[in-house]
């Protein structure tokens, strides 16, 4: 059976995978969005079903004050003796509170997961090797204390006590990069294969120069010798005009039939070197030659279409992770910022009820925002709301990248019971630019907001009740991606309610959010 890459479109970066029986399980990074670390499962590596999140309870982690592109970085999932392990790093980016590397466990990958146990180590991108003798070896990346060049990192290794959930024994530094001058040797994963220890690591930074490198050793502590073919997979030599860029951060898995595969992140630029959909999860076949993994044999590139011989077809209702049609409350695709969706709003029947909060998307706080990932270049997003707002309050359809970069189709009333007034506010590099306000015809509290995304253009329209939609403004999506804005995220689309710093008792009912991909020659992203 064949399927298109990416296997998880939209912002699903830093994928990690393991197999237990007939099921593959995959986790990915979520940064400041909650619930954190989505868990997907698949029988065939092509069709993925969301089954839960690792961080899904209030208070598991402290997100207070963590700015955009902070939060949960690069998890790893592994399995040992009936127990699933996830190790991850909470990056606070200067915010007060508890950050660092932690482990959680569960007997069911759908949850519940244990409370975090914190490990006494610095750095990011932790992983766990389950050795053949049952021992656990934790490893990860950190900046080298005495670097030979700027941004040189090192991979540390230390045994993990599974009962005490703490690091024990001496530490070893096993890797500093495959190439001289290589920056950010990160995303390390160790495997024990036929008595040999294989180290897989990214290199070059998670952008154009990203690459996959490998090394191996006879002992888990090393010394590790790099492959003469390093980097064994990269698209950096193809340039910024390639259809897929930034290939790296891979994890290996073996299928039941003995075949080997790698999941990894990459990006699909459009409109020049911009990737608004963020870093996505791709699949690559792996073969073995002379004891070394060979990624995408015969081509050395991430394929557009993946052929998985043992795949027999997706179960009914399971897709490649696409959001299609209405997204009801309780759907795992909903995310809040620094808070769980059920902490941001409450479910009443088939609707979300959002309190109008003082915070805006520009604040490092918990805004009344609930959204889903953008997963297609071309789409229609329709948001139906009912709101009775005070003067100065607004409800809107938001396209969020970060505090400093986002766009909002905002509607409010200048006076109680006055007409609805709409505008598009585009915050770019921390500076707000607003279109002229448009008075909407019609009365009542029912508002329909629509985003029409076609390639580079985001067009916003608004309507009251059953009146015709009015175009309010447009935004170039290239101004909102991480190439322009910085950080590590793609875009989230959803509902926002704010009183702009004032106390409020108002609420907004989100009756529906409908995500409709546009299929056609121009809809190349999914």
Q: Using an 8 Å Cβ cutoff, are 256 and 22 in contact?
A: yes
Provide the residue count of the chain. Answer: 526
Name the token pair of 235.
């698209």
Name the token pair of 310.
């043992």
Q: Say what the alpha-carbon torsion angle 179, 185, 189, 194 is, to the nearest 10 degrees.
A: 10
76 vs 186: CA distance, rounded Å? 13
Give the N- to C-terminal CA distance of the chain in Å, as an integer.
Answer: 17
Strand pairing category for 153-161 and 406-413: unpaired
- Selected catalytic residue, list 186, 280, 378, 481: 186
User: Catalytic site residue 466?
Assistant: no
What structural domains does the chain harbor?
2-307 (2.115.10.20), 325-517 (2.60.120.200)
13 vs 109: CA distance, rounded Å? 19
Q: What is the pLDDT along the chain (526 residues), one digit of tens a residue?
A: 888 999 999 999 999 999 999 999 999 999 999 999 999 999 999 999 999 999 999 999 999 999 999 999 999 999 999 999 999 999 999 998 889 999 999 999 999 999 999 999 999 999 999 999 999 999 999 999 999 999 999 999 999 999 999 999 999 999 999 999 999 999 999 999 999 999 999 999 999 999 999 999 999 999 999 999 999 999 999 999 999 999 999 999 999 999 999 999 999 999 999 999 999 999 999 999 999 999 999 999 999 999 999 988 654 334 455 556 799 999 999 999 999 999 999 999 999 999 999 999 999 999 999 999 999 999 999 999 999 899 999 999 999 999 999 999 999 997 777 899 999 999 999 999 999 999 999 988 999 999 999 999 999 999 999 999 999 999 999 999 999 999 999 999 999 999 999 999 999 999 999 999 997 644 444 4
Q: DSSP state, 48?
A: B
Residue 317's pLDDT is 39
User: Catalytic site residue 289?
Assistant: no
Preceding omega of 241 cis (within 30 degrees of 0): no
The H or E element spanning position 482 is helix 482-485
55 vs 345: CA distance, rounded Å? 18
Burial of 431 (0-12, 13-18, 19+ CB in 10 A): exposed
The DSSP secondary structure of 198-254, one letter per residue, reads: EEEEEES-SSTT-EEEEEEESSTT---EE-TT-SSEE-GGG-TTSSSEEEEEEEEEE
143 vs 286: CA distance, rounded Å? 30
192 vs 97: CA distance, rounded Å? 37
pTM for this structure? 0.96
The DSSP secondary structure of 71-84, one letter per residue, reads: EEEEEEEEEETTEE
Residue 98's pLDDT is 86
């Amino acid at each position: 059976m064949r399927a298109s890459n990416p296997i998880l479109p939209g912002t699903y970066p830093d994928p990690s995978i393991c197999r237990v029986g007939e099921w593959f399980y995959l986790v990915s990074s979520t940064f400041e969005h909650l619930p954190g670390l989505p868990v997907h499962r698949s029988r065939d590596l092509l069709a993925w079903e969301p089954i839960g999140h690792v961080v899904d309870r209030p208070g598991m982690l402290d997100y207070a004050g963590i700015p955009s592109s902070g939060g949960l970085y690069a998890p790893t999932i592994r399995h040992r003796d009936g127990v699933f392990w996830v190790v991850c790093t909470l990056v606070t980016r200067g915010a007060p509170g508890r950050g660092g590397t932690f482990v959680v466990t569960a007997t069911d990958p759908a949850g519940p997961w244990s409370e975090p146990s914190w490990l006494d180590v610095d750095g990011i991108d932790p992983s766990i090797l389950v050795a053949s003798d049952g021992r656990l070896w934790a490893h990860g990346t950190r900046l080298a204390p005495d670097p030979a060049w700027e941004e040189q990192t090192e991979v540390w290794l230390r045994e993990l006590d599974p009962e005490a959930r703490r690091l024990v024994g001496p530490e070893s530094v096993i890797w500093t990069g495959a190439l001289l001058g290589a920056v950010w040797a990160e995303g390390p994963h160790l495997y024990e294969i036929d008595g040999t220890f294989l180290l897989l690591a990214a290199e070059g930074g998670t952008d154009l120069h990203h690459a996959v490198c490998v090394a191996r050793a006879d002992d888990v502590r090393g010394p590790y010798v790099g492959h003469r073919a390093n980097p064994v997979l990269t698209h950096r030599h193809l340039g910024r005009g390639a259809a897929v860029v930034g290939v790296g951060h891979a994890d290996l898995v073996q299928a039941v039939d003995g075949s080997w595969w790698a999941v990894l992140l990459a990006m699909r630029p459009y409109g020049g070197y911009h990737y608004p959909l963020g870093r996505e999860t791709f699949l690559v076949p792996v073969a073995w030659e002379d004891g070394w993994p060979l990624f995408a044999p015969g081509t050395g590139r991430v394929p557009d279409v993946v052929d998985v011989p043992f795949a027999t077809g997706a179960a009914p209702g399971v897709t490649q992770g696409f959001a299609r049609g209405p997204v009801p409350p309780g759907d795992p695709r909903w995310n809040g910022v620094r808070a769980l969706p059920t902490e941001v709003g409450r479910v009443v029947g088939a609707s979300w009820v959002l309190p109008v909060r003082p915070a805006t998307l520009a604040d490092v706080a918990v805004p009344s925002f609930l959204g889903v990932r953008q997963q297609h270049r071309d789409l229609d997003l329709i948001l139906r709301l009912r709101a009775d707002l005070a003067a100065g309050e607004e409800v809107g359809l938001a396209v969020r990248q970060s505090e400093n970069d986002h766009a909002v189709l905002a509607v409010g009333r200048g006076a109680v019971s006055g007409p609805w007034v709409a505008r598009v506010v585009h915050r770019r590099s921390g500076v707000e630019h607003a279109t002229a306000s448009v008075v909407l015809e019609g009365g009542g509290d029912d508002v329909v907001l629509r985003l029409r995304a076609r390639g580079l253009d985001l067009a916003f329209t608004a309507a009251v009740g059953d009146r015709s939609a009015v175009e309010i403004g447009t935004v170039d999506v290239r101004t909102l991606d991480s190439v322009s804005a910085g950080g590590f995220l793609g875009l989230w689309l959803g509902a926002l309610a704010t009183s702009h710093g004032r106390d409020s008792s108002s609420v907004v009912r989100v009756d529906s959010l409908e995500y409709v991909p546009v299929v056609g020659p121009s809809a190349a992203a999914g």
